[in-house]
Amino acid sequence: MVRDLNHRRELAAVWRSSLSTLLTLLLAAALALSLATPAGAARTAAAKAHRRLPYPAGATRPSRTVTRLAHARKASSSGGAAAPGSSSTTTTSTTTTTKSASKSKPKKPKKPVLHGNALRAVLAFDAMQKYYYIPGSDLYAGEPFSYLWPFSQALAATVSMANIPHMPSSFASEVHARLIGLRDYLDPNNSGAPEGTYSSTLPAFDGTVAPPAGPGGTKYYDDNDWVGIELARVYKQTHSAGALGYAEGIMAFEIAGWSTNQTYACPGGIPFSNSIENVERNTVST
């Protein structure tokens, strides 16, 4: 059984490596500029033993309006944003006019010029959206959609971007799109075939996209932890009652998962997942 568990972890680790690397770069840049970010927590090195349940053939999500951001690349093309560590000079010309100043159009305020970590964060975010985001789905690429943990990190990246001051455009629409995508993982009960039997059936987010678009299945306590942290950050920024409600639901799910088995050498703690077969307790979940 241990050999099978390790094999499944290795398969999950291979799939996650490319997206996780990009997300790591994005979060490092974005968090350096964030107005308010929670203390970082180290992720366990071992990838999860996610079930390799097949998605329905040709699984898709309803098409929605794809958000477009006026990122720094637009300012860059017009000479507005300088590359990291570079300096630029702007040549201006004066025009003499015989018309009165009252008839001239007022100049539009220039967009903020991004440098350093802020510019790196925008470029990394653009790359994440270009290579992993599925337009019209509010989800990220996987089988065909990503597991919850990579999605939670894309959510964290987006919330961090929204906390960077003086951005040339608002990230409110992107945060909203992440919250819409997050709902696709929500499972209100986690009960019945073909999902299996679980130790907790409280509402929370499945490790994969929930039915009908995905197989649903096991809920991972630490995945829901990460989502809860980001929902709390969204609430702090927007005062969204919906974000707070989801975060409170996750807290209830976590508390209900607390181990009450007194036969353990060290009783207590929160398990790795709500799978009935799970015997691991995870520090990051606790």
- pLDDT digit string, tens, across residues 114-147: 888 999 999 999 999 999 999 888 999 998 999 9
Q: What is the average per-residue pLDDT within 276-282? A: 89
Q: Is residue 74 classed as helix, strand or coil in its secondary structure? A: helix
27-32 long-range contacts (CB < 8 A, ≥24 apart) are 27/153, 27/156, 27/157, 27/160, 29/117, 29/118, 29/120, 29/121, 29/124, 30/117, 30/121, 30/124, 30/125, 30/157, 30/160, 30/161, 30/163, 30/164, 31/160, 32/117
CA-to-CA distance for 101 and 78, rounded, in angstroms? 26
Query: Where residue 234 falls among pLDDT bands split at 50, 70, 90?
Result: very high
**191: confidence class by pLDDT, cuts 50, 70, 90:** confident
The stretch 171-200 carries a mean pLDDT of 89
pLDDT confidence tier of residue 56, bands split at 50, 70 and 90: low
pLDDT at 220: 96
Q: Which helix (H) or strand (E) holds 131?
A: helix 116-132
Confidence band of 202 (pLDDT split at 50, 70, 90)? very high
Identify the bridge partners of residue 139 per DSSP, sorted by sequence position.
134
Dihedral sign computed on CA atoms, order 209, 243, 253, 156 = positive
Helix (H) or strand (E) holding 139, with range, is strand 139-140
Beta bridge partners of 133: 140
Report pLDDT for 1.
47
Q: Percent of the chain, pLDDT > 70? A: 60
Residue of 87, 97, 225 whose CA lies nearest to 153: 225
pLDDT at residue number 115: 85
pLDDT score recorded for residue 110: 66
Instruction: Quote the pLDDT of residue 161.
Output: 96
Instruction: Report the chain's mean pLDDT, rounded to a whole number.
Output: 74
How far CA 130 is from CA of 4, 100, 135, in Å, comes to: 35, 48, 9
Q: What are the tokens at 260?
A: 């009450």
